[in-house]
Each structure stands twice: as C-alpha cells, then as structure tokens.
Amino acid sequence: MSASPAPSALSVAGLRAALEPAASVLVPDDDGYETARAVEPGGIDHRPAAIVRPADTAGVARAVRFAHDAGAEVSVRAGGHSVFGLGRSTGALTIDLRGLDALDLDVATRTAWAGGGMTAGAYSTAAGTRGLATPFGDTGGVGIGGITLGGGVGLLARSRGMTIDSLLGAEVVTADGDVLQVDAEQHPDLFWALRGGGGNFGVVTRFRYALGEVSDVVGGVLLLPATPASVAGLVAAAESAPRELTVILMVMTAPPMPMIPAEWHGRLVVMANLCWSGSPAAADAALAPVRDVAAEAGGAIFDGVHAGPYAGLLEGGPQGGSVVATGRTFFTDGVDEAAAAHLLAELEATDAMMRAVQLRVLGGAVADVPRDETAYAHREAAVLGNVAALAPTAEAAAGYTPWVSALAERLRGGHDGLYANFALDGGPDTARAAYPGATWDRLAAVKRTYDPDNVFRGNVNVLPA
C-alpha cells in the first residue's frame, strides 16, 4: 500500500508537462490555489500538493495515471461541499471535477448522463423543466458525485428510493488510469460497489441515472416548538405516513432568521422539512397528522409548506467561512418521548454556538431494496440520525466531539451502523460500521481488483483484501 507523499514528492514540472493544456494545474504558490483548495462550509485546512482541473475524462485519466506512477494519493473534489473535508488531503494530488458538469437528458428513455462535477440543484432544476427528477438529498449545493457514491438519502427517499437506486451506469477512471463503462452487465462487481461504497474505486466522471415523473410537489419547512411529544410525534407521524411523504427533522436552536419571530431566536425548535410527491389532491390528508402534532405543541411558529417544483425545496448548502463542524451519524429504530426528552436536555446543556440533531425518517422505497443488492447495507433502518455541533475553530469543535458521540450513542439504540456520507472521518472503525460483515468483505475484494495500492483513500476507506 502506498504511503501519502510529502508535498514535494510530486514533480510540478512533470505534472504540468504531462497534463497541460488538457487540464490546469495549481500548486501552493499559484494565484487561485487558496480559493481552489477551500472546502465549504469552511475551517478545513488540507493542503494538496497540486490541484488539477481536467477539461474531460481523458484529462482525468492522465492525472490519475501520473499520480499512480508517482506513488501519490489521489483525492477527488466533486461538485459540492464536504463538511469534514474528505475531498481534500494534504500532500495529495486533488482532481477537481467541477468543470465536468454537462447534462444530457433523454426524455424519451427517461435517462440522463450527468458530469461528475455537477450539483444536485443544477441537475434537478434542469430535469424539473421536463417534469422529471432523480432523487438526491435536501441540499442543492451538494455534488452529485459524493451523494451518489455514498448512497443518497433525501426528500424523495421514501417515494423514489435512494440516489443509488436510480443509478444505471457510470464512466469510471480506475487507479491505473483506465476508463471503464460500468453498469449491471459491464463490470457488475464495480457497479455494485459504486452504489454506496464511496470514492474507493476510482474517479466517476459521468453518471447515468433513471428519471421519474415528478410534477409539482407539496413541501417546505414547518417550524414548531420542540418538546418530547412534538419530536417523538413527528417521527411517528412520518413513519406511518404514506410513502409519498418524506420528512426530515432538524431539532435545533432557532437561528435569527427573518421568518422566525424574535421571541423564538435561540430557543429549541423542530424544523420539519416536508415533501409530498403524491397526488396534490391528497396532500392535505397526508400532511394532517404532521399538522396535528404542530397544533398539539401550541401551533406552528412558521408554516412554509406550499406547492411548487421539487427543485425549489433543495436548499443552497453550507456557507463559506470559518465555522467548523463535528458530528456523528447513527441509525435507530425510532425516537420515543424518553429519547426525545434526553435529546432536548442535551441540546440545552451544551454551550456550542450551534447544535442540532437531524432525523431522517426512512422506510418506503428505501426498504424495498434487499440489503445485499447495493453496498449501502442499512436498508432495514427506520431512522437515519446525525448529531452535530459547530464552533469557530477546529480545536473548539473537537472539544464538543465527546458530547456529540455520547448523544448519538444514546439515540442509536441497537444499531451499530453509520451512513458513510455523514461520517466524521474515514478511519477503519468508521469504515467497518458503514460497511458491516459481508458487505466489507465484498468491497475489499472489489478494491483489490480496481485499486490494490489504495490510491483512492481520501474517503471512508476500504482496504484492499
């Protein structure tokens, strides 16, 4: 297995000679390097030895081949953010895919080829003009590459499944620089691994997705007071709802936003992000149990639920700046009032500048897929959770990690697994929890075939068997 090189291990002159003009090259002394290495939402201080911006797949292949021959690690920056900075690595050659953002929609076959540097928002907006959609997350600024390779749990999850459930194929540059066309018939082992196994197996330069009919949805934010009854009640209402309703809850201190009355700023609230993708005529009945919970809590503080395009529900994503996050993801069978009371007490007790527990209610189409059909192996989980705290510096954020871990441990119940896309790091314990048992063994075998030297390790890393 190759070790991470020092920044000087890569020959800048050799890199430029090999890649330019097919790809631009930035090194630490170049203008634009600091901007290019920044990762939203900020606070991540990784310093790649070089950042390569290819113009096409051939440029990606040349960059990977150069790094492989030099014994250098390759890290990949796709189209969006990385809260924990896994798209960067100090001393690595970083391939920035943001220039590969072309989209080819085929309305007749309801399929699309999308460049690996595209964002979910751009894709969803373009597809939405044709009344079509592929399920991504809840954030427009996320890159389709990262969310797809990790699984993809968002506002259409219960009705349309995870992002990987709509993945039909991919164009992949492997560790030796080969370009493979991958699908259920060509390299099926690699196709299985790409659906949840992260960026362990190559650079995906294009994704082929299925598109489903999604006209206007009914959704948006419903904000209500946070009590044990309201938190547990919303989770229960979302679990028992028709699969056309997906609910993502954020239990948090209310930020000073114009839509929130001043008397609620800094107080604990539940921000429920709703998406009803069934018949508009049935929306009121489907949302009634959720609104009943709000009424029992004293009424909605803010009601932004409305009919509109699916793409309009996707938020912009993390903002730049110096705020640093620490967090821990978990799965659980549910959240009862006792767990909700503990959750609220812990959120009150910490002095983090921003703290939150997110709960994504699963089931529906997510659970329809057998757990061994994809590398995402947690199909039976009822709720995906994430505990997070934000601080002004990395050192301050690290101080909240024990609190984050303890609360996640209390909430997870009997589930040991975690969701790779919300992972705090890419270490061995994290990887084993994300990819348990037979999933790990199968991924390790695929890794041995396509990346035996572990060139791609800036991720939730699977070691070659």
CATH code for position 226: 3.40.462.20
Domain boundary among 56, 79, 96: 96
Amino acid (1-letter code) at residue 122 = A
Tell which residue, 91, 97, 88, has the closest CA to residue 60: 97
User: Are 235 and 356 members of one domain?
Assistant: yes
Whether residue 371 lies inside any domain: the answer is yes
Query: CB–CB of 97/74 below 8 Å?
Result: no
Render each residue's pLDDT in the chain as its tens digit; 465 residues.
333 333 346 788 888 898 888 789 999 989 989 888 887 655 667 788 899 999 999 999 999 999 999 888 898 988 665 555 554 567 789 999 999 999 999 999 999 999 999 999 999 999 999 999 999 999 998 999 999 999 999 999 999 999 999 999 999 999 999 999 999 999 999 999 999 999 999 999 999 999 999 989 999 999 999 999 999 999 999 999 999 999 999 999 999 999 999 999 999 999 999 999 999 999 999 999 999 999 999 999 999 999 999 999 997 655 555 678 889 999 999 999 999 999 999 999 999 989 999 999 999 999 999 999 999 999 999 999 999 999 988 889 999 999 999 999 999 988 889 999 998 877 899 999 999 999 999 999 999 999 999 999 889 999 998
- Whether 15 maps to a domain, the answer reads yes
Q: Give the dihedral sign, CA 108/111/112/113.
A: negative
Residue among 57, 101, 59 at smallest CA distance from 78: 101
pLDDT at 323: 77
321 part of a folded domain: yes
In this predicted structure, what is the pLDDT of residue 3? 37
Q: Which of 171, 188, 213 finishes a domain?
A: 213
Please tell me whether residues 399 and 324 are part of one structural domain. yes
Do 142 and 265 have their domain in common?
no
Question: What's at 207, amino acid-wise?
Answer: F
Q: Residue 92 has what pLDDT?
A: 84
- Tokens 């189209």, residue located: 79
Instruction: Evaluate whether 174 touches 201 at the Cβ level (below 8 Å).
Output: yes
CB 129 within 8 A of CB 152: no
Instruction: Give the phi and the psi of residue 447 in degrees, each rounded to 5.
Output: -60, -40
Residue with tokens 């929609």: 105
Angstrom distance (rounded) from CA 110 to CA 166? 11
**Measured in Å, how far apart are the chain's first and last C-alpha atoms?**
11
Look at residue 275 in the predicted model and tell me its pLDDT: 98
Tell me which amino acid residue 106 is.
Answer: D
pLDDT at 105: 97
- Residues 294, 413, single domain; the answer is yes
Give the largest CA-CA distance in the chain.
67
Among the candidates 68, 96, 124, a domain finishes at 96
Instruction: Measure the CA–CA gap between 4 and 91, rounded to whole angstroms.
Output: 7
Same-domain pairing of 226 and 317:
yes
Residue 223 belongs to domain spanning: 217-422
Say whether both 113 and 51 belong to one domain.
no
Q: In 10 A of CB 421, how many CB atoms?
A: 27
In a domain, residue 40? The reply is: yes
Backbone φ and ψ of 367, nearest 5°: -80, -10
pLDDT of residue 410: 95
Please indicate, yes or no, whether residues 316 and 403 belong to a single structural domain of this protein. Answer: yes
CA nearest to 119, candidates 276, 376, 315, 385? 315
HSE of 339 in the Cβ direction (CA atoms, 13 Å)? 22
- In this prediction, residue 44 carries a pLDDT of 66
**Residue 359 and residue 307 share a domain:** yes
> Domain check: are 244 and 363 in the same one?
yes
Give me 412's structure tokens.
């997870």
As given in the structure block, the two tokens for residue 407 are 């609360």
pLDDT at 37: 83
Pair (255, 169) in one structural domain: no
Please indicate, yes or no, if residue 453 is contained in any of the structural domains.
no
What is the domain count for the chain? 3
Question: Quick one: 232 and 207 in the same domain?
Answer: no
Q: Are residues 237 and 366 in the same domain?
A: yes
Instruction: Please check whether residue 267 lies inside any domain of the structure.
Output: yes
Cα(135)–Cα(154) distance, integer angstroms: 7
**Measuring CA to CA, how many Å separate 319 from each of 273, 315, 323?**
19, 11, 9
Is residue 443, in this structure, part of any structural domain at all? no
Q: What is the CATH number of the domain that holds 73?
A: 3.30.465.10
Beta strands in 295-451 (DSSP E): 302-303, 306-308, 324-332, 354-361, 383-391
Residue 458 lies in a domain: no
